[in-house]
Structure 1
């Protein structure tokens, strides 16, 4: 159960950040999509992927088996493979911190806690706002690809990108989920943000290492980022049902624990 007044107030409070990230992503997608038709007309485009070392191909999700100059492979390498995961992680940490640790530390949570609104309603509302923000940013990512592809007459598999968007949303909820848990538990953004950022960098680094060499492949079992493989989804090699379920279970557990801690803990307001 959420509080409608608090929900819309917090969504308005976070609105500029959501719009900024969404417009920035869509602009970047339009720029790289505009370049794509020009690139594929170049006579050397098919030889270009072969010039990269195998570890670099693995790290950026470029196919090692064959030369792939499809838009799906292009957008995965230019945006979805690495850049987007890092950006949505930064956004998730920032949003969850703004909705919990920052408000608690600065005393902004004093009013809703003193009002006739239960703690469950407050934390459920903050979680609802967080999920709404992530949904909007992920939706802007997929929508930007749809609109850019249509404008520049690039043929794409819309359902493939939709499935990729669902998987990306699930990944973003994991990062945001443990960020909120740290924020509520530690009750200080000066402590929680560096810890969450360090944990995210470790997870991200382990994913990069696992893709660089077969020797490090086992590291993918300890990082949620390894479950996000956009090119495999877009090429139809992966139906990400299991990956979405695993990520949803992790994020659901983190958000449930965040609510439990918020309701039980003596919060300094």
Structure 2
């Protein structure tokens, strides 16, 4: 399934909605995410919690606000959610994929599950397209997920390596946060405002058009081509505030046909707490 687009359109999802192997997941976040899900979500969609299912929350100084869970724990989570190796997984959130949908996509790809897509436009666009909605607390039968691997397969980089990259002219660090956060004008979440030294700002919002949909492959290739032409892909690192929204840009890059570069999961939330 490597040639399958990482993004699925609402009309495409409607066509496959009756597929018994289909698994749809709602990964919106925030203090009222679960209650909002219970009020209204896409039919058959199961709620996934960023903090408990897609992260191992500890002290942000050690791994950031949303560090990855242990590989083996995530594999167990997949089985509990009803995902096996034959499942076709579709993920959405209420932030055009820029919240936890892309993070879940990255994690599934990182365990070798390639049959996974993010819904273009997310919940709002699907609702506008009259996709069937539900208020049931849906679930899928538990199963067992057997991975071919014992560790994450997509490239990651740790804080010590990021520090080296700040002093390496052959490396590039990409910050996908909004420009005011990158510039240190505002910081609504973390304790310190600013950015990692020598990081470039490519805001994730630029992956989307005026309708909140992903830009065309051609447009995204044009957006990122200079970055990828000038640097070895192994020396390109993307990050955000806590390793979640950065995955939106990794998704866009994969959609545009680029190799997926390094993800710094700890991101600004870890870096800024270590006085670097």
Is the TM-score greater than 0.5? no
Report the structure, 1 or 2, having the larger helix content.
1
**TM-score w.r.t. structure 1 length?**
0.28
1 or 2 for the larger relative contact order (CA 8 Å, sep ≥6)? 1
Looking at CA atoms only, which structure, 1 or 2, has the larger radius of gyration? 1
